[in-house]
A and B are shown apart, each in its own frame.
Chain A
Amino acid sequence: MREIAYDDIVKAVKNMVIHTATNLPEDALKKLKEAHEKEKSPVAKKVLEQLLENAEIARTEKRPLCQDTGLAVYFVKLGQDVRITGGLLKDAINEGTEQGYIEGYLRASTCDCFTRENLKDIIGYNLPAIIHMDLVEGDELDIAYAAKGGGSENVSRARVLAPAQGREGVIDFVKNVISEAGPNPCPPIIVGVGIGGTFEKAAISSKYALFREAGEPHPDPDVAEFEKELLYELNKLGIGAMGMGGTETVLAVHVEKNPCHIASLPVSVNVQCHSSRHNHITL
């Protein structure tokens, strides 16, 4: 059994949260630069220029890339041969999140669903974090993090299609979701698509898809082909950067496909804005 101390997890999570708020990861930056080069609309090109300038200001002056510093979402892979000492893993991640959001001058964005009261003084600053936990082989702890903004979550959708709707039905559904979203999720966007499994498996898969390096194809060549097809179809919508019209609406499509029930075809579309703030640590 390898031991990992609670305090070490808190510290690592805190540092990751602070760093990610001001440093747009390389993959997202590369995709934005490509979009800026390819964009045909002068208006959208100007927006993309602003986004690149924004990333530079954020990095050099340590200002959050966006005022929506998100809910903290984690995919955690805990090796079966690891033992956490000094407290619960979930508590350590929440504590690191809170410290990072406070010390990084990030926004507390969690509230009660109905009263809309901010929960910073009740549950904790920007708590609770959304934590998806998985037990895996080995003696390492991997914590992947994303600062997930509200605007792009608001346009995300899930539905269980009839099996007869098939591949075409999935394409239509994804196209409708992105078309309907238009300018709202801050395009150019990254689109995570979860197909198959059960209702919640599809939704979680669509979120997990967004944690991949932007534009990295799925290892299964059939799925990778499907991603390319979706990317092509979605960019025909003409939405463009910030919805002002343009050729570059979607930076990447990531698909995760799961076996499903003989009666169903679940599909979920999770949208990520251009400010794709994600990172991971291995302890």
Chain B
Amino acid sequence: MSQVHYLKTPLSDEDVMNLKAGDIVYLSGIMFTARDAAHKRLVDLIENKEELPFQLDGAVIYFVGPTPPKPGEPIGSAGPTTSYRMDSYSPTLIRHGLKGMIGKGKRNQEVKDACKEYKAVYFGATGGAGALLGKLIKEAEVIAYEELGPEAIRMLRVENFPVTVINDAYGNDLYEMGRAKYEVKD
């Protein structure tokens, strides 16, 4: 049976181990945005042993490229982007302390294995609900790679941001579980 959790970021190992695929989580606190280009730069920094633009320990990264904010608003619409494009980078970040990722769509086996080995979790947010999710972002500030435009790294402060656990630290996958339940075999 799926559970509902209210969690504050950064996430601890204990927070992560309490989550099971299918659980609903309302996240509050700080998270960071990054898409393909920013991920590549973060991994390059790690490989060159250089300092990252934010603390990775316990961090949550949101895969999103928001629309520009209207005057007086912190951010525009901000729903998740498809996560597989980050698959080649995520395991490195997980090994260096990343605890949570928010996106939509399938992850590869390497990411699932890294979640299991280093206690991390992959959350799904509702794709195409950018207006609703953008409203739950209370503050947004570009902290690195401004030249990447929508792909820059932003620090976000969110309140009760709704996500669902897709891949937990036990190797479960909600996409496989959910589909198996409703698939009609011939």
A contact residues vs B (CB 8 Å cutoff) = 22, 40-41, 43-44, 47, 50-51, 53-54, 57-58, 61, 63-69, 105-109, 116, 118, 120, 149-151, 154, 182-184, 186, 236-240, 242-247, 273-275
Q: In the complex the two chains form, what is the Cα distance from A109 to B186 in whole Å?
A: 41
Q: In the complex the two chains form, what is the Cα distance from A116 to B107 in whole Å?
A: 23
Question: In chain B between 130 and 186, which residues have their CB closer than 8 angstroms to a CB of chain A?
Answer: 130-132, 134-135, 148-150, 162, 164, 174-175, 177-184, 186
**What are 18 residue pairs bridging A and B, where the CB atoms are less than 8 Å apart in the complex?**
A43-B2, A50-B126, A51-B126, A57-B132, A66-B77, A66-B128, A67-B65, A67-B77, A68-B65, A105-B70, A107-B65, A151-B81, A182-B105, A184-B105, A238-B179, A243-B104, A243-B105, A245-B179
Given contact pairs A183-B105, A243-B105, A63 touches B181 in the complex (Cβ within 8 A): no
Contact of A116 among B37, B69, B186 (CB under 8 A): B37
Given contact pairs A63-B77, A106-B67, A182 touches B132 in the complex (Cβ within 8 A): no
The answer to whether A54 touches B130, judged by C-beta atoms less than 8 angstroms apart, is yes
Q: In the complex the two chains form, what is the Cα distance from A275 to B132 in whole Å?
A: 13
Residues from chain B with Cβ under 8 Å of A151 in the complex: 81-82, 104-105, 127
Q: In the complex the two chains form, what is the Cα distance from A77 to B79 in whole Å?
A: 34
Contact of B106 among A64, A105, A116, A184 (CB under 8 A): A184
Question: What is the predominant secondary structure among interface residues of chain A facing chain B?
Answer: loop
5 closest A-B pairs by beta carbon, nearest first, are A245-B178, A238-B182, A238-B183, A184-B105, A186-B127
Residues from chain B with Cβ under 8 Å of A63 in the complex: 76-77, 130-131, 134-135
Contact of B131 among A54, A120, A150 (CB under 8 A): A54
User: Distance in Å from the Cβ of B83 to the closest Cβ of chain A?
Assistant: 9
The answer to whether A183 touches B104, judged by C-beta atoms less than 8 angstroms apart, is yes
Question: In chain B between 82 and 115, which residues have their CB closer than 8 angstroms to a CB of chain A?
Answer: 82, 84, 104-106
Residues from chain A with Cβ under 8 Å of B76 in the complex: 63-64, 67, 105, 107
B66 at interface, CB cutoff 8 A: yes
Closest B-chain residue to A274, C-beta based? B128
Given contact pairs A67-B130, A243-B178, A184 touches B104 in the complex (Cβ within 8 A): yes
User: Distance in Å from the Cβ of B1 to the closest Cβ of chain A?
Assistant: 11
Given contact pairs A116-B37, A184-B84, A58 touches B131 in the complex (Cβ within 8 A): yes
User: Distance in Å from the Cβ of A13 to the closest Cβ of chain B?
Assistant: 19
Residues from chain A with Cβ under 8 Å of B37 in the complex: 116
Given contact pairs A66-B79, A154-B82, A242 touches B67 in the complex (Cβ within 8 A): no
User: Distance in Å from the Cβ of A62 to the closest Cβ of chain B?
Assistant: 8
Interface centre among B69, B124, B179 (most CB of A within 10 A): B179
User: Distance in Å from the Cβ of B153 to the closest Cβ of chain A?
Assistant: 16
B interface residue count range (under 10 / 10 to 19 / 20 to 34 / 35 or more): 35 or more
B contact residues vs A (CB 8 Å cutoff) = 2, 22, 36-37, 64-70, 76-79, 81-82, 84, 104-106, 124, 126-132, 134-135, 148-150, 162, 164, 174-175, 177-184, 186
The answer to whether B131 touches A242, judged by C-beta atoms less than 8 angstroms apart, is no
The answer to whether B130 touches A245, judged by C-beta atoms less than 8 angstroms apart, is no
User: Distance in Å from the Cβ of A84 to the closest Cβ of chain B?
Assistant: 31
The answer to whether B179 touches A67, judged by C-beta atoms less than 8 angstroms apart, is no
User: Distance in Å from the Cβ of A22 to the closest Cβ of chain B?
Assistant: 8
The answer to whether B106 touches A67, judged by C-beta atoms less than 8 angstroms apart, is no
User: Distance in Å from the Cβ of B177 to the closest Cβ of chain A?
Assistant: 7
The answer to whether B127 touches A244, judged by C-beta atoms less than 8 angstroms apart, is no
The answer to whether B128 touches A244, judged by C-beta atoms less than 8 angstroms apart, is no
Q: In the complex the two chains form, what is the Cα distance from A150 to B131 in whole Å?
A: 18
Q: In the complex the two chains form, what is the Cα distance from A109 to B182 in whole Å?
A: 35
Q: In the complex the two chains form, what is the Cα distance from A237 to B132 in whole Å?
A: 28
Q: In the complex the two chains form, what is the Cα distance from A13 to B104 in whole Å?
A: 31
Contact of B77 among A65, A239, A274 (CB under 8 A): A65
Given contact pairs A151-B81, A151-B82, A105 touches B68 in the complex (Cβ within 8 A): yes
Q: In the complex the two chains form, what is the Cα distance from A183 to B177 in whole Å?
A: 13
Residues from chain A with Cβ under 8 Å of B182 in the complex: 40-41, 238, 240, 245-247
The answer to whether A69 touches B67, judged by C-beta atoms less than 8 angstroms apart, is yes
User: Distance in Å from the Cβ of B26 to the closest Cβ of chain A?
Assistant: 13
